[in-house]
Chain A
Amino acid sequence: MKTLVSIRVNGTSHSHEVEPRLLLVDFLRDLCNLTGTHVGCETSICGACTVLVNGKAMKSCTMFAVQTDGADVTTIEGLARTGKLHPVQEGFWECHGLQCGYCTPGMIMSGVQLLARNPKPSRDEICHGIEGNLCRCTGYSHIIDAIHYAADKEGK
């Protein structure tokens, strides 16, 4: 039994008949061909699959596509739509906030939500804001720098 699901992804409407058990991350990766959102654990712990659902950071590996019917979803591919990097993306580049890059899209999406809620976060607030995202390469220090960079840039 399939259900018609329509999700606006990065400003473009995507409608597909899907099984109710289809995960949002698979909708994005397999049906929308947006593979920037990654799967790292399938249990919503590592955060590699983080996307914005109606502006709120969500773990797309533990959310069904049907739950987001009619929603507005932003993925990593949607951040630099005008061709200009989002300040958080820019921060990650400037501060060497990534190495292998696998956790990076989810980490950036959490950073985007964090700055939307708290434009001038302290170091502790940044750490709290990305505590749902694991990185095994960088040791986080440069990621914290990257989000600080973005906050400073957006504040100007």
Chain B
Amino acid sequence: MPATKTKPYIGQPLKRVEDPRLIKGIASYVDDLKMPGMLHMAILRSPYAHAKITGIKTTTAKAVPGVVAVLTGADVNDKCGPVPCAAAMPVPKVPKHTVLAGDRVYFVGHPVAVVVAADRYVLRDALDLIEVDYDALPAIADPEQALAKDAALAHPDFGTNVAYTWTLANGDLDAVFKAADRIVKQKMVHQRVTPMPIEPRGCLTSYHAGEGTMTLWTSTQVPHLIRTLVPGLIGIPENKMRVVAPEVGGGFGAKLQIYAEEILCCHLAQRLAAPVKWIESRRENASSTIHGRAQVGYYEVAVKKDGTVLAIKARSIADLGAYFQLLTPMIPTLTGLMLAGCYKLKAVRMDLTGVYTNTMATDAYRGAGRPEATYLVERLMDCVADELGLDPVKVRLKNFPKPSEFPFTTATGLVYDSGNYAGALKKAQQLAKWDALLKQRDTARKAGKIFGVGLSTYVEICALGPSKIMPAGGWEWGCVRIEISGKVTVITGTTPHGQGQETSFAQLVGDKLGVPMEDVVVLRGDTNVAHFGRDTYGSRTTVVGGMAIVMCIDKIIEKAGKLAAHLLGAKKVSFKNGTFVAGKKSIGWPQLAGEAYVAKNLPVGLEPGLEASAFYEPPNCTFPFGTHIVAVEIDRDTGQVKIVKYVAVDDCGPQINPLLVEGQVQGGIAHSIGQVLFERTVYDENGQLLTGEFMDYAMPRAGDIPVYIMGSTVTPSTSNALGIKGVGEAGTIGATPAIANAIIDALSPFGVRHLDLPLTPEKVWLALQKGGAR
């Protein structure tokens, strides 16, 4: 079939290729996979935040019919693990993260023992029959209190709760602060939150004794990182390990990890000579899958009276939890890198203290350090406007770099590729009908209503990144193959799990090769298929994964051009819409592919086949940006916040599929609505987790979502040929401060300048009472 496609796919809001299997319920998530002789594994976890284990009795559990094994740390910790951390941070004392606890537990949810049985119901029976004796020890759960002299120690052996200190300093901060007209100060708490993908974690492992090969199917964002790091932890050569991410039910950073259970499950498959499956319960997901945010900071801004922002100084405490997961100590440093926001500062300083607490590890949760930066910078901009009696919009406009100043080097040392911050702000104001919205606020307030308007102008860092700044490579790999039939197979080293690259990459390839999208299949998430990859996180997939594919296509077109010229008897051919043309003669992909693989009539020196692979090394990160404008109304009697207007203008460069971009932004905003209004992971003073279920951890439901007015501007990145920037985290980064600023604006007539998130009805109502609800 000759290619007939003429209309470009790129830029069209096409519905997704991956959807039919998902809406029919015939997709395969990890718990849908079954193997003959498969066993199930479950973990017994610590109910204490800090305790000494004085005894474990497993005999009763072992006696349950159908139980295959009951093992403790003493049985497995010297055979597999430890759980790796890949962050290159100088940390003096790092606790050894064994897969099961040794003689102590350090957080609620800490794995203590493992049970294996053929039946999941029997498994849970047996789990309840393991007897563990604990001697409870003093625990510390609050990161700021952890720094007090008499604080309980998360790891008593270390003699301190301080894991590390880290400083980022640029410019002459002292001089700039001296020259300032005013110093605006604010403490802010970025509460701990839980990612909560709707599919909990889970894995299935199978060891082939004859081949010596291990296969791990796991609900992960990073099968390639797992394949790099896990083989050495289970005693298998890297090239005998296969990792597959089947359908993955949400990640948000929580699955950008290598977890104890994955390592343990591999070990047990080998040890017990049977496939082993582990599926996490929601309760385990809340206690033992990474958490996010959890920073407390004291922030200062040096400003001129006219609203010129000179410098930002931050003293931050990051709650790391009891152990390091894959990137734990590195995440808060991203807050430092983005501390300049989208403003021209003369100096910046962040002094960061990472502390251990008896809690689950924090790590990359959607945005990973950047939402914290944007939140604090954008809240500070409103505090500055408030103190100086200026318009928050004018303060922002005064401090933006102009479009002509890009590439723009920030006070933190990053080089922003391209930007038009005032352009996005102006567009958002237009869509929000800004002047009318302010009048609406005045009218509402006169009528006795509590009404507020807020905005955030954000910039974020995406497409991580050049290899020199990444722990283990920032490149991406791709492969494109024109099959003998002319169909096109695309393999990406990224691992999309809901973002829709089976569609957007098919759009890209369809256009570049001039083939119908229906003829393109995008494969991902299997290390035996995608031989290399650095996977999906940090809004990198479309940019770096897409560019690797573009490189493959360029190579294929070059090779196919030589073959076409040979077959057409021409010296030169031109390529357009899937056809190579020389004069009046032409040849398309199906015919070329046939010739390339049958290989009876190839030009001298040309290899058979039509396949190319490529590694793309990004020269820089990308820096998407935008403006979100929010209006809220607050119920005087209950303190309940209602978002009455939401305008989002995001600039991620040219959009391959605007429908998918819209979905990413809206999904991100929902995470922010959760963080601003309801969500907080709570440990009590004893380190007991109080938000261990959906019952206690309030996430947004459909009724909490406003009607969106969505817009975009297009400022192409100068870092890659497609000009694209990435959008997976934009909503979560831009929305949190916009919503918070609107609520604080609503409360400002009551004397409120700042409240820490989440702004629950109770907190808002109390603030109203304190200010004397008028």
Contact = CB atoms under 8 A, between A and B. Distances in A.
Interface of A: 19, 21-22, 26, 29, 34-43, 45-46, 48, 75-77, 79-80, 85, 89, 92-94, 96, 98-105, 108, 123-124, 126-128, 130-131, 133-144
24 contacts: A29-B32, A35-B28, A36-B27, A38-B29, A38-B199, A40-B199, A40-B282, A45-B695, A76-B25, A79-B24, A93-B19, A93-B23, A96-B660, A99-B663, A102-B29, A102-B249, A104-B22, A134-B198, A136-B196, A137-B663, A139-B668, A140-B702, A141-B708, A143-B702
Nearest to B283: A42
A124 B703 contact: yes
Interface in B318-336: none
A47 to B, nearest CB: 9
Contacts of A137: 198, 250, 498, 663, 667
Given A40-B200, A77-B25, A130 B702 contact: yes
B622 interface: no
A139 B249 contact: no
Interface in B113-141: 120-121
A64 to B, nearest CB: 12
Contacts of B198: 38, 40, 46, 48, 100, 102-103, 134-137
A141 B705 contact: yes
What 8 A-B pairs are tightest by C-beta distance, nearest first?
A36-B25, A102-B249, A139-B670, A101-B22, A100-B498, A76-B25, A99-B498, A35-B32
Given A92-B19, A126-B702, A144-B702, A136 B252 contact: yes
Contacts of B247: 100-102
Contact of B694 (A46, A93, A94): A46
Dominant secondary structure of chain B at its interface with chain A: loop
B752 to A, nearest CB: 28
B694 A134 contact: yes
Interface of B: 15-16, 18-20, 22-29, 31-32, 120-121, 195-200, 247-252, 281-282, 497-500, 659-660, 662-663, 666-671, 673, 693-695, 699-703, 705, 707-708, 731
Given A101-B23, A141-B666, 17 more contacts: A35-B29, A38-B198, A40-B199, A45-B694, A77-B25, A89-B24, A96-B15, A123-B707, A134-B701, A136-B250, A137-B498, A138-B670, A139-B671, A140-B700, A141-B705, A144-B702, A144-B705
B632 to A, nearest CB: 17
Nearest to B500: A99
Contacts of A76: 23-25
A39 B31 contact: yes
Contact of A43 (B15, B199, B693, B701): B693
A143 B701 CA distance: 11
A107 B673 CA distance: 20
Nearest to B281: A42
A29 B670 CA distance: 31
A77 B500 CA distance: 22
B25 A35 contact: yes
Contact of B249 (A79, A101, A127, A128): A101
A130 B708 CA distance: 19
A98 B20 CA distance: 11
A139 B705 contact: yes
B121 A136 contact: no
A43 B708 contact: no
Nearest to A19: B121
Nearest to A100: B498
A127 B693 CA distance: 22
Contacts of B18: 101
B663 A142 contact: yes
B17 to A, nearest CB: 10
Contact of B497 (A100, A105, A131): A100
Contacts of A134: 198, 694, 699, 701
Nearest to A101: B22
Contacts of B708: 141
A21 B119 CA distance: 13
A103 B250 CA distance: 10
A131 B20 CA distance: 24
A131 B703 contact: yes
B666 A139 contact: yes
A133 B56 CA distance: 40
